[in-house]
Amino acid sequence: MKQTSVFAQNRLAPFSHHIKIECASITSGYIPPRAEPVPGPLSRAKMPSFAEIASLLDASSIFLFLVTLVVFSIPVFIIFPPIPVERSDALGQTHSKVGIPQRESNLRDQYQTAQTRSHGANGHAATSQPTPKIHSLHIYPLKSCRGIELTEATVLPTGLEHDRVFCLAQRKTRKRTGRDAAPPEPAASLADTVDYWEVLTLRQMAPMVGIKVDLWLPDSSKHSRQLGPMTADDGTGHSDSFLVVRFPWRSAGVKGFVETVAAKLSRGLSATPEREFMLSMGFPSDREVKARGYSHAEVTHFRNVIPALNMGAELPTELALYLGLEPGQLAVFRLDPDHRRQVFDCAPTREVAGYQPEIDFQDAYPLHLLNLSSVRALESKIRRDADIDRLDCRRFRPNIVVSGLPEYDEDDWKSIRFKAASRKDTDALFDVSCRTVRQVIPLHDLEKKNTCYAPQREYLSMQLIYRLALQMQITQCRPSYWEIDAGAPKKGCMGMQMCPLFSTDGVQDDLQSTIRVGMEIAVLKRGTHRAL
């Protein structure tokens, strides 16, 4: 112990002087001043102010810094793009979008006078009649939504290929009738009512005019790095055709602001946020129906009950909210090809056509033809204002728009031929079955974004145009002017309903033809019509 104490004293000897001073200070209460630290490389330097930092920078330094920041940001944006990837970006690798853009539409000149007038040698006005021809072609894969304009189309017994294959339907409730199946025992309290699906159209659901569609078909000339080259049927489903459906939707709060910015960056300054979903154009197998949660159900369209496939599992919740419905009230249906509706009434019989005409979700007949001159004639008789300036022929939902004809010349057509422009093509024949009795569809302008929220303005309703003639100040509105069809009293008609005819022996696989924009029209037969 004594040796340890001596050793500790020797170790503490250099510090004994300081220990004595500290002890004396504590005893006397005196605290000696601290010595100032000697400046050295390890001493803390004073933080420069922002003004001092800014004074050290010049324009070239700032420019170099920004360029460096941008260069290093480019790979980050490529790997993590600020704009969400859309389905069309993926489909573009293996598919091609059908249709022509709006800026290239064949209807850009639809407001020009169909018949030009020139002065003859005697000074009187003479009418120069252009060649009657197909002006534009249109399909509507999702009924009552935006259409797709084509330059050529395949004609099938059901009309133009891909036309009105899908429809939106609303779940409704009605009183049970004797034809309805008896309810199960637990539902005895609900025995007086039954749920059913009803096809939605623009007549009762105006916001549908804002729903756009893109049709994508497989393209064998394209090669995907992930999927490989496209083939006619590779067994994986990648060669299927798809319908991408888009509708306006903006989330609330900050998320909605981000969606708005992303939309404008990807599609232009006038773009608005959208939601989208995708449907396969092919009818699924039983295994796919079960795997995707589809179900077979009946949907009501006017007085018809149609067997179809309920594909409501594909719908986003926002679509029902956009249309003002509860999510459980909306579904999308695809027509079952084995249960198409056969068309009778004014349609040609099997003996005449070689087959019985049939339709998907069309209202009554496979095809609707419209004459541009007739639309311009109607436009000259309506009152114009801020909402209705020009009458767009697309309001009438035509499949085939023709031009170069006198107004209402189509009213007594019975059969027509579209003449082939080259030897490799063939003529396309059609039975003109009846006139199109108009409803309220012309109220909906496809170009004005606020149309789907505008009030229902009935003075363009062809159904009410005669009864409201005095109020609307429409000139030359006589019963003989609008009531041209004895089968539709006090209802106007605009356009013609048609069924395709095929020059074959009735073999189902041969029942198709092709029509193109520019094909000339030959009227083969004229006669009277009566709507049924």
Asked if 392 and 448 count as a contact pair (C-beta separation under 8 A), the reply is no
d(CA 76, CA 89): 19
H or E segment and range at residue 196: strand 193-199
C-alpha separations of 71 from 21, 62, 290 in Å:
64, 14, 50
Asked if 238 and 227 count as a contact pair (C-beta separation under 8 A), the reply is yes
Asked if 165 and 335 count as a contact pair (C-beta separation under 8 A), the reply is yes
Burial class of residue 523, CB neighbours in 10 A (0-12, 13-18, 19+): middle
Tokens matching residue 57: 């920078």
At a CB cut-off of 8 Å and minimum separation 6, what does 257 contact?
A: none
CA 318-456-487 angle, to 5 degrees, is 115
H-helix segments, 29-102: 50-56, 59-79, 87-91
At a CB cut-off of 8 Å and minimum separation 6, what does 375 contact?
A: 110, 391, 393, 396, 494
Q: Is the dihedral of CA 391, 395, 396, 399 positive or negative?
A: positive
What is the full per-residue pLDDT of the chain (532 aa) written as tens digits? 455 555 445 554 554 555 454 555 545 555 555 555 555 554 556 677 766 666 666 777 778 888 888 888 777 666 666 666 677 778 888 899 999 998 999 999 998 855 443 334 444 444 567 899 999 999 999 999 999 999 999 999 999 999 999 999 999 988 777 666 655 555 555 567 888 999 999 888 888 989 999 999 998 888 655 555 555 444 444 458 999 999 999 999 988 888 888 888 777 888 888 999 999 999 999 999 999 999 999 999 988 999 999 999 999 999 999 999 998 999 999 999 999 999 999 999 999 998 999 999 999 999 999 999 998 888 887 766 666 677 888 988 999 999 999 999 999 999 999 999 887 788 999 999 999 987 654 555 555 543 333 333 333 443 334 333 333 344 444 445 556 787 877 777 889 999 999 976 555 567 899 999 999 999 999 999 988 7
β partners of residue 128: 116
- What is the pTM assigned to this prediction? 0.76
Q: Quickly list DSSP for 259-283.
A: HHHHHHHHH-TT---EEEEEEESSP
Cβ-based neighbour number of residue 30 at 10 Å: 9
d(CA 273, CA 394): 25
d(CA 392, CA 102): 14
Residue type, 42: L
d(CA 197, CA 200): 9
Tokens matching residue 358: 């049939």
d(CA 242, CA 92): 11
Q: What is the dihedral of CA 176, 178, 179, 185, to 10 degrees?
A: 60
